[in-house]
Structure 1
């Protein structure tokens, strides 16, 4: 038996603020709006294993499935932290007129509450969350958290999801290290995500290097927050939600793509980063227009 470790949502800086124009810069940078004429992620189910969700947020109300609260099965997965609501907003907020719009505004979020109000969870609850997603026909699992130690049981759950055709997107961690990536992002069955800033450079806090599959905007990201508010946060957590939204756009057009095919499409369609020395070998930034073109050729 292995020890049931505590795991936390990746800590990040944050400040609350008003929304300026409804279109967060990250959603624009990855070219999501250029894809909306073809795909909005319609009915693709994204499981967000996190702190829950603000079910009353006007930007999220139309994008929610019931989900599950693993900390208290008799309650809805309400968010008492904010992190999960922020992640869900980037993936699928859909209130362009008055609020914000996410990467895949017609995707459906299944909130899986495994983390408490402090942003802490036991690995055993994460595993239950993954298993719940596989049983309930979830297409993509967003895992904006990480831990340093490897867990055989977590790897087993991730592998089972992968073999069932569920795509897992995980954040690489905020240690600013070159060759270090958190688990579960380090497992090859996941898509591991690093963070970039507005100038398409790797954000200083982001882990980087060969273990990262793709980078996406993660610095000063505005998204939904508790009580109908908005909050700006930085972290590879935020980058991960951009990639989950992009995969929802892709799956809405090509529902039969496997996790391996999706990783291949992402690898073939990345934009080179601004500060990459060796452009051929380096991992690049998510570009949804190029991603959809690469999917056509597969």
Structure 2
């Protein structure tokens, strides 16, 4: 393909877009064409101002940008495949409007029930997740929360690269607290209180994102050599680009953890949790039963606490939320405990240990294996 001509046309098409137009992902006919176009793009950006709006999705060898629905580029046969981008949302069960509050046990440290139930405190004598780096692709983080200040490292705001990934929704801050909060004298303690959170803001204040932003987030985590990628969100429909990004991260040795969804479905889970390269997580209640809202099915690898989970919130506050998102955060924390002891563990090894060491949920009705609830103490013991 003639990359210069294509980019001239792309620059012109972007200049004609309006606010109502949607994001698209541009796939190239070959890896060679992608790299040629990427090199040409770098040369042309300074003289073609609209090309600065093109995002390079290196992990899947594609570009993303806003285009008109009837863009002329779509008519160029054989050159590229251009598909409209898809929306994706965080996994959260909406609770009461007045759930935001100060710490229940003011003046004392709080270990949330979920952290206790998975035996994390019993594992802290062996590991607290020291130096394990976790990318939380979500709504950002509250940088000023007292329980998170020592847990946060460099992140990225994919919605506005010139800004820090500040949380304007709360979901990302809640997830980060369950993974790695370090409440010293007051506040809460997460599953892996010495793990490092890298906030990747891909979701807006409504908890909504484009798949291309998720892919860019996965790419950023891989480029920055993070150990674990927490993805507490999902969608119903299969997306080839998302699968490609997940597979490429997996083959680079990244452990990807994703939530199954909150529709109460008995035989299916959302994407990306449905991909076999992902640790797929369902939610349990305080009584150790599968939560009614949790999706379940043969794709689930492990369950974790997800009902009324108490964690950090915006403006230094705390909040109770329910959802498979919250369960996923517990699992990412346990993986951090494991990797701190044995950094050489691969994604498949970790998944197998988590599945094998999970606590039974209810009675075994047959000899067939069923996913259980994650157990930090057992998982660490298995590393011997």
> Structure 1-normalised TM-score?
0.97
From 11, 14, 17, the counterpart of 2:92:
11
What is the rounded CA distance, in whole Å, between the counterparts of 2:115 and 2:367 in structure 1? 24
What is the rounded CA distance, in whole Å, between the counterparts of 1:246 and 1:279 in structure 2? 27
Contact 2:92–2:324 (CA under 8 A) maintained in structure 1: no
From 339, 346, 358, the counterpart of 1:258:
346
TM alignment of 1:96-115, pairs within 5 A? 96-115=184-203
Q: Which has the higher contact order (CA 8 A, sep 6+)?
A: 1
Contact 2:238–2:271 (CA under 8 A) maintained in structure 1: yes
CA displacement, residues 64-122 of structure 1 (integer Å, 9 cap, x when unaligned): 01200000000000000000000000000001311100000000000000000000000
**Which runs of at least 4 in structure 1 moved beyond 3 Å after TM superposition?**
275-280
TM alignment of 1:80-119, pairs within 5 A? 80-119=168-207
Partner of 1:20: 104
The reply to whether residue 218 of structure 1 matches residue 218 of structure 2 is: no
Secondary structure of residue in 1 paired with 2:319: strand
Q: 1:270 to 1:279 in 2, by over 3 A?
A: farther
The reply to whether residue 29 of structure 1 matches residue 113 of structure 2 is: no
What is the rounded CA distance, in whole Å, between the counterparts of 1:274 and 1:199 in structure 2? 10
Partner of 2:212: 124
Q: Which runs of 5+ in 1 are unaligned?
A: none
CA-atom RMSD in angstroms: 1.1
What is the rounded CA distance, in whole Å, between the counterparts of 1:277 and 1:116 in structure 2? 44
What is the rounded CA distance, in whole Å, between the counterparts of 2:364 and 2:86 in structure 1? 36
Structure 1 window deviating more from structure 2 (8-17 vs 81-90): it is 8-17
What is the rounded CA distance, in whole Å, between the counterparts of 1:95 and 1:85 in structure 2? 14
- TM superposition shift of 1:269: 0.3
TM alignment of 1:1-298, pairs within 5 A? 1-14=82-95, 15-21=99-105, 22-274=110-362, 277-278=365-366, 280-296=368-384
What is the rounded CA distance, in whole Å, between the counterparts of 1:96 and 1:188 in structure 2? 38
What is the rounded CA distance, in whole Å, between the counterparts of 1:172 and 1:279 in structure 2? 24
CA displacement, residues 260-296 of structure 1 (integer Å, 9 cap, x when unaligned): 1001111110100026544642110001111112222
Q: Which runs of 5+ in 2 are unaligned?
A: 1-81
What is the rounded CA distance, in whole Å, between the counterparts of 2:280 and 2:182 in structure 1? 26
What is the rounded CA distance, in whole Å, between the counterparts of 2:89 and 2:363 in structure 1? 30
What is the rounded CA distance, in whole Å, between the counterparts of 2:197 and 2:366 in structure 1? 38
What is the rounded CA distance, in whole Å, between the counterparts of 1:188 and 1:232 in structure 2? 30
Contact 1:268–1:294 (CA under 8 A) maintained in structure 2: no
What is the rounded CA distance, in whole Å, between the counterparts of 1:194 and 1:277 in structure 2? 20
- TM superposition shift of 1:17: 3.0
> Structure 2-normalised TM-score?
0.76
What is the rounded CA distance, in whole Å, between the counterparts of 2:154 and 2:283 in structure 1? 30
What is the rounded CA distance, in whole Å, between the counterparts of 2:151 and 2:333 in structure 1? 12
Contact 2:231–2:257 (CA under 8 A) maintained in structure 1: yes
Contact 1:272–1:279 (CA under 8 A) maintained in structure 2: no
Secondary structure of residue in 1 paired with 2:339: helix
